[in-house]
Amino acid sequence: MVLASIVFIQESARKLVDGFTSGEPEAPTLSTAAIVIVVSAVVVKIGLMVYSGWILKSTFSAAVEAIHQDNLNDTISNSFAVAAYVVAAVYSDAWYVDPAGAILIFLYIMMSWGKMAWEQVTQLVGVCASEDFVQEVKELCSHHHPSMALDIVRAYHFGSKYLVELEVVVPAEMSVKAAHD
């Protein structure tokens, strides 16, 4: 997505430079069919975004969260693209709105996907879990067995889940069988 965005930014920047330097800017031609298609896509994406948001309220899923984010990005970028296209096509003096709008849209997409990618990478490389999560684990362990004491808790991101390591202290007189049961 980032590479495609860079290509579109480069092409839009070229149109801006050519338009300002030549004095003969290339204004888009208004196409009703194109507007109807993109507006229809925006309406569908809004519906999918609402539906995926509703699913996320009842159950967490990294895949559904990614779909929700994708639908949000598409709704914002397509709406902005239609607006920039219409302004540039209707007002010939505002020809620059279309390529400038494209640059803004693709910068937004790059930042949005970059943020999401960074979040996923940090979870995949085993970043320590939050202190709140570690406290929840400690609380759960404290109620597990009255004879065992919790010594060390380590928790790391493991994809969308956690890897938890516990070191417990058992009484010296407790047998191995009792400790494992």
Q: What is the pLDDT of residue 129?
A: 87
Question: What pLDDT score was predicted for residue 1?
Answer: 66
Q: Taking a C-beta distance cutoff of 8 angstroms, is the pair 39, 32 a contact? A: no
Residues lower than pLDDT 70 in the chain? 1, 181
The whole-number pLDDT of residue 120 equals: 79
Per-residue pLDDT at 51: 95
Q: Alpha carbon of 80 to those of 35, 55, 59, 171: distances in Å?
A: 12, 27, 31, 66
For the whole model, what pTM was predicted? 0.68
Domain map of the chain by residue range? 2-124, 131-180
